[in-house]
């Protein structure tokens, strides 16, 4: 039986978060520059989004550029930013065909101006779509996001708009960049690395982690289906015992 037909479409995760890793190693294996790996990685993003749509996933968050990625060699950072600008602009027709609405999380104000502009335009052009939500984590780090949330809450307390006793998980959620999305049920990280790398730490308290040796530029529809199938075979207990879940 092919892998797609084994998936229970009534139990697809609503939200999948993806750490796209291994572009550099993939390029090296081909005797190419690292940036070539990133550019083929864009094909994987496109394929993954359309595969996610086929199985009814509503949100996919891609970790495209972390705050820590600024520390890479300058030519790689510049190349990645150029790729981002081109990709965001080029992908709008495909996003519209797929009914995909573009969002971003992270400190967009720290990105180059042309990247900010393309992002804004692509968000406007896809704002009416509602089949699937494509979320790009750009200049994102979870500790940055949590720090900003704490600052905002402290300011409200300072200004008398909020009592400290009123702070709860719901209120903290509303201060996160992800306030409009449900928490991811599934995290996928490619390339054999098994770390969170400062990604959605607050949001992934109950997320299932799936690690694969596949390098991101090789990741295709079938790899997403495999991950979802494994997720569906796991039991999510949220701290309870099996019998309580029946």
Taking the least distance from each CB to ligand FPP, the nearer of 34 and 101 is 34
| 79 lies in the site for ligand FPP, by CB under 6 A | no
Among 103, 145, 109, CA closest to 124 = 103
Residue 64 C-alpha from the chain's centroid: 8
Alpha helix (H) residue ranges in 184-241: 221-233
21 is catalytic: yes
Among 23, 48, 126, 133, binds ligand FPP (CB under 6 A): 23
The Cα–Cα gap between 61 and 200 comes to: 10
Applying CB under 6 A, the span of 15-23, 53-61, 145-153, 166-174 interacting with ligand FPP comes to: 15-23
Q: Which residue has the tokens 């094909």?
A: 43
| Interhelix angle 34-54/74-90, nearest 10 degrees | 30
Among 48, 87, 104, 207, binds ligand FPP (CB under 6 A): 87
Applying CB under 6 A, the span of 3-11, 17-25, 97-105, 118-126 interacting with ligand FPP comes to: 17-25
CB 51, CB 227: distance < 8 Å? no
Among 16, 18, 49, 88, binds ligand FPP (CB under 6 A): 88
Residues that bind ligand FPP (CB under 6 A): 20-25, 34, 38, 41-42, 45, 62, 64, 69, 83-84, 87-88, 136, 191
């Amino acid at each position: 039986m092919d892998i797609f037909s084994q998936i229970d479409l009534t139990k697809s995760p609503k939200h999948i978060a993806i750490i796209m890793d291994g572009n550099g190693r993939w390029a090296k294996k081909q005797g190419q520059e690292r940036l070539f790996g990133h550019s083929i990685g864009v094909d994987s993003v496109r394929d993954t989004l359309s595969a996610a749509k086929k199985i009814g996933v509503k949100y996919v968050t891609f970790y495209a550029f972390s705050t820590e990625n600024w520390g890479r060699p300058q030519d790689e950072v510049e190349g990645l930013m150029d790729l981002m600008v081109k990709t965001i602009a080029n992908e709008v027709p495909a996003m519209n065909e797929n009914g995909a609405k573009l969002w971003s999380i992270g400190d967009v104000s720290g990105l180059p101006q042309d990247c900010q502009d393309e992002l804004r335009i692509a968000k406007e052009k896809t704002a009416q779509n509602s089949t699937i939500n494509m979320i790009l984590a750009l200049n994102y780090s979870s500790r940055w996001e949590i720090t900003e949330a704490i600052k905002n809450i402290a300011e409200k307390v300072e200004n008398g708009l909020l009592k400290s006793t009123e702070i709860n998980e719901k209120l903290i959620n509303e201060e996160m960049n992800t306030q409009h999305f449900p928490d991811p049920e599934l995290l996928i990280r490619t390339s054999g690395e098994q770390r969170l790398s400062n990604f959605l730490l607050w949001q992934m308290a109950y997320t299932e982690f799936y690690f694969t040796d596949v390098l991101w530029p090789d990741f295709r529809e079938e790899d997403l289906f495999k991950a979802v199938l494994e997720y569906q075979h796991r039991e999510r207990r949220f701290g309870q015992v099996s019998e309580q879940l029946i």
